Structure 1
Amino acid sequence: MKSKLSIHNKSDKPDNIVLKENQIIERCLEIEGQLPDFMRDFFLYLKNGVALSTRLAYLEDILFFCKYLVKESSLSQADTIKTISIEEFNKINAKDINRFLGDYCSRYTMENSEYIKVMENHNRALARKKSSLSVLFKFLFRDEIIEKNITDGFNPIRLPKPQPDAIKRLEIDEVAKMLEIVETGEAFTDKEKVYWEKTKLRDKAIIVLFVTYGLRVSELQQLNISSFNFNRGDFKIYRKRGKEVLMPLNKTCEKVIKEYIIKERPTEAALDEINKDALFLSLQNKRMTIRAIRNLVKKYTAMALGTSRDYGYSPHKLRATAATSLIQQGFSIYDVQNLLDHDNVTTTQLYAAHKKDVKREIVKNFEWIEEE
């Protein structure tokens, strides 16, 4: 039986961020315990050299590859992943990796006692697996654990160039429609309105934060009451790679958050220690999960678009909505890049290129034959 986890936190990070990071670290250690011992220095390299989420992603991909070596290929005679030898890894060549990525990874099956699931990976997922293996094999070569650097022989994986016209986001009038639905509940059935009445202020605050700041879903899910300093007019978020960022509050966001906290959110007395600081709570008085937030956004965007719930948009599409709306309002791409935390300004430029009905306007104003 596991002991109850307590947090002794002397950092500036809130407890929920520390707890989340600890869960990722524990998962990393669990995977490392399954992998061969000759990778131990590689684990140390990941621990000190890459972001925590990247470390986990690499380890999951490498574990998947090692499972393939043991169960699906003739490249290893080991009975378990742990007993894969250096000699067997040293015999792996670029052609073996290309077959793993191009043949096995593109489509494989996962079985349990109840069902067989067919797994299909697109090029973006294959490129990530290739990247993970490239980092591993380069490290093993650098540390003279294997004799050759085989990564130059890995086949390229072509990723489609993002097209501005393919960016899914809401138009400004659709955002207005969505906010109206959140406010009035007009699109809900009588049964759904019972639930909506209990969460409408929470839902409104979530939607407004998404379309104003283009937050990532994890950034919003981690927000606490203590994240907000209403006297100074700002709030703190934790971005990728552990970056702490202060975001300014506008009047709309301040109003909807205060309204939710004062009129709808349970008091601290009704909450347990781990959830009393969490901003957005479920009806069970627990911090909302990322999945619950995704479902909420999908529901409201589907109503705004006039489509079925299955075709609603994800929170990331509201991030695209915020970016496009800001650029259409005349803000520079560099200001929008800074607000949304894009690593590269070319990402932001995609939203700048996507102007409403631009193709229609071009063709409309380029007539070869004048009307009589």
Structure 2
Amino acid sequence: MAKKVIRIHNKSDKPDNIVEKENLIIEKCLEMESELPSFMRDFFIYLKNGVAISTRLAYLQDILFFCRYLVSETQLTAATDIKEIRIEEFNKIKARDLNRFLGEYCTRYTIEKPESVMIMENHNRALARKKSSLAVLFKFLYRDEAIKENIAEGLNPIHLPKPQPDAIKRLEIDEVAKMLDVVENGTGFTEKELVYWEKTKRRDKAILTVFVTYGLRLKELQQLNVSSFNFGRGDFKIYRKRGKEVSMPLNQSVEKVIKEYISLERPPEQMISQEHRDALFLSLQKTRLTEKAIRELVKKYTSLALGTNKENGYSPHKLRATAATSLIQYGFSIYDVQNLLDHDNVTTTQLYAAHKKNVKRDIVNSFEWLDEYDKKNSPR
């Protein structure tokens, strides 16, 4: 059967490409909901209206995985199909059953394929997400009076190591300059790579400049459109997590690289299909650049700036960290940087400001009042 053409009747302020992408996620959610037991229907309504669609998808993936485990690995249900699991069986599940699922099964399990066996391992961060998904489900079922006990309260703690500032990977300011020099001049590329670079250098420079200036998330940059930019007003629109529309001011550097890319390298409108005509960053096939392609592009240029191989290049998220630390090094407050990067909690931003401790130490050590400690007055 031929795939139906999707047409968008969009009365919101969101661009069509974002509406279409959200629709794909919603379709995945609906598909998973159709596989899960019917007694979870009210929970699905709660997810639809209560959390971001990406969170809704993540919860449903984890809950579907848990239900598969119940059917295939335990005696907790008589069902042979996930859809057949009954609420009475869920009512008999205890906290220890969830702890065994998280602590024993999820840490390491296998998936058998026709020609291979795949070993799957989950570390604490992934286990914590699965724990969160199950806790939300069982709390809701208890609140909805579908089960008699809130067993989520009995879940074992999962320790997540506190992020260390020294462990945050980012480019130093001189490495950012080197990266932009690479994209400007093609330094370090093979002859074959130079042919491709010549066709995309302005696009690549614009992408990297936007990343290190604003610290955008990968999705936020990938979704940018030509119509997102209002050069007359000197700003552009992005869509954050949970669909927040934000206006970002343009500085001269970003305005220059975007305009140069659009006028000197991006194909004319008539050569681009209607579907991709408004997309800002295009592939050589004249389609919207995918998140995967942008990720590979960033790894390529950062590896050259770092003097390492492509596999050890940085991801777009490391350029987000680079933007944060660079702004703080230039003297902006953590609250200004928090606002720019859309951090939910200022403690996240504070991680990038940790180097300030060393700056304070250097200042104080160089500013002694007692003569015996004053290096400026010590004999040479």
Q: Secondary structure at the match of 1:77?
A: coil
Structure 1 residue 249: Cα displacement: 0.2
Match of 2:162 in 1: 161
**Could you list the per-position Cα deviations for residues 60-104 of structure 1 after superposition, in whole angstroms to 9, with x for gaps in the alignment?**
110010011111222222111100111111111000000100111
Deviation for aligned residue 1:114: 3.3
2:250 is aligned to: 249
Matches within 5 A, 1:141-152: 141-152=142-153
Query: Partners in 2 of 1:316 and 1:306 — Cα distance?
Result: 19
CA distance in structure 1 between the aligned counterparts of 2:105 and 2:260, rounded to whole angstroms: 53
Secondary structure of the 2:238 match is strand
Change (3 A) 1:323 1:298: same
Match for 1:314: what amino acid? Answer: S
CA displacement at 1:268 relative to structure 2: 1.0
Question: In structure 2, what residue type is equivalent to 1:46?
Answer: L
2:54 corresponding residue in structure 1: 53
Specify the alignment match of 2:207 in structure 1: 206
Aligned partner letter, 1:131: S
Alignment of 1:331-370 (within 5 A): 331-355=332-356
* Number of residue pairs matched by the alignment: 371
Which runs of structure 2 are paired with 1:175-324 in the superposition (5 Å)?
175-324=176-325
Measured in 2, the distance between the counterparts of 1:111 and 1:312 equals 33
Q: 1:312 offset after TM fit, Å?
A: 0.6
Instruction: Specify the code of the residue in structure 2 equivalent to 1:108.
Output: Y
Equivalent-residue separation in structure 2 for 1:236 and 1:359 (angstroms): 37
Runs of 4+ in 1 over 3 A off after TM superposition: 355-366
Tell me the residue number matched to 1:329.
330
Partner of residue 70, structure 2? 69
Q: Distance in 1 between matches of 2:294 and 2:111?
A: 28
Give the superposition deviation at 1:371.
11
Matched residue type, 2:313: G
The SS at the match of 1:108 is strand
In structure 1, give the amino acid aligned to 2:88: E
Q: Helix, strand or coil for the counterpart of 2:111?
A: strand
Q: Which amino acid aligns with 2:42?
A: D
Which amino acid is the alignment partner of residue 221 of structure 1?
A: Q
User: Alignment partner of 2:163: what SS?
Assistant: coil
What letter is aligned with 1:36? Answer: P
User: Is 1:120 paired with 2:121?
Assistant: yes
Match of 1:19 in 2: 20
Aligned-residue offset at 1:186: 1.1
- Residue of structure 2 equivalent to 1:79: 80
C-alpha spacing 1:133/1:225, structure 2 compared with 1 (3 Å): same
Letter in 2 for 1:266: P
Give the letter for the 1:342 counterpart.
H
Secondary structure, aligned partner of 1:274: helix
1:172 aligns with 173
Residue identity in the other structure for 2:351: L
1:289-325 C-alpha deviation (Å, 9 max, x unpaired) = 1111111101111110001111111100000000000
Which residue identity is paired with 1:137? F
TM-score normalized by the length of structure 2: 0.94
Q: CA deviation at 1:10?
A: 1.4
Task: Name the aligned partner's letter for residue 189 of structure 2.
Answer: F
Q: Shift in Å at residue 355 of structure 1?
A: 4.7
C-alpha change, 1:364 and 1:102, in structure 2 (3 Å) is farther
Q: CA deviation at 1:111?
A: 2.3
Q: Distance in 2 between matches of 1:359 and 1:307?
A: 32
Give distance in 1, aligned partners of 2:304 and 2:7: 42
Identity %: 74
What's 2:5 paired with?
4
**Length-normalised TM-score, structure 1:** 0.96
Structure 1 CA distance, aligned partners of 2:308 and 2:364?
Answer: 29
Which sections of structure 2, spanning at least 5 residues, go unmatched? Answer: none
Measured after TM superposition, the shift of residue 132 of structure 1 is: 0.5
Task: Name the structure 2 match of 1:99.
Answer: 100
Distance in 2, Cα, partners of 1:306 & 1:154: 46
Whole-angstrom CA distance in 2 between matches of 1:116 and 1:354: 45
What SS does structure 1 have at the residue aligned with 2:276?
coil
CA distance in 1, matches of 2:328, 2:365: 23
Q: Identify the residue that residue 140 of structure 2 maps to in structure 1.
A: 139
Letter in 2 for 1:252: S
